[in-house]
Amino acid sequence: MGENAKTTIITYDYYAGKQKDCGKLYGTSGSASMYVFADDFKAENLTIENSFDYALDVNGKQAVAAYTSGRRMIFKHVRFLGHQDTLYANSGTQYFYKCYMRGNVDFIFGAAQAVFEECEIESLDRGLEVNGYVTAASTSRHQEYGYLFLRCKLTSNAQDHTVYLGRTWQSRRRS
């Protein structure tokens, strides 16, 4: 728990295309600033940020701020900051209350069952014809529910009709 979400900041700057010492790439799953693998977890009043410089001309710009996997996870007044692939809600059941999420491409993604209530979700402007997608769910066909958004505020300074709510993320999880 932090004192204030704007001053209590967890940050790092890995990205998917960054090379490890062994020569392999970190990949999207390996790029997170914070990993949470826990049931009954609660975070409150803090910022989780991936500070990778998205303007760099590199391959593999996915840069996860938070990778979450667990049942009964609660995030209250938490800010998730990044660009592409900001929040990787990988698995479990997760609840986000009065959170702020910022990104541009598939920045809320994964296979978790997640409720987003009264959150502000900001899509960044990349200056493209398609600025991005807010979500990329990979909900298993055997799972009845995926993402639920209740009374959330979607904002962007991008040109009208260039940001889309979501697209499916086709992965091996679908089988």
- Alpha-helical runs (H) found in the chain: none
Look up 13 and say whether it is catalytic: no
**Nearest alpha carbon to residue 100 among 68, 127, 70, 124:** 124
User: Rounded to the nearest 5 degrees, what angle is found at the Cα of 162, between the Cα atoms of 27 and 149?
Assistant: 70
Look up 106 and say whether it is catalytic: yes
Reading the block at residue 134, the tokens are 């807010």
Catalytic residue among 21, 106, 125, 160: 106
Side-chain-side CA neighbours of residue 88 (13 Å): 23
Catalytic residue among 21, 85, 125, 160: 85
Asked whether the beta carbons of 124 and 104 are under 8 A apart, the reply is: yes
- Please name the residue that has the structure tokens 């209590």: 8
What are the residue numbers of the active site? 85, 106
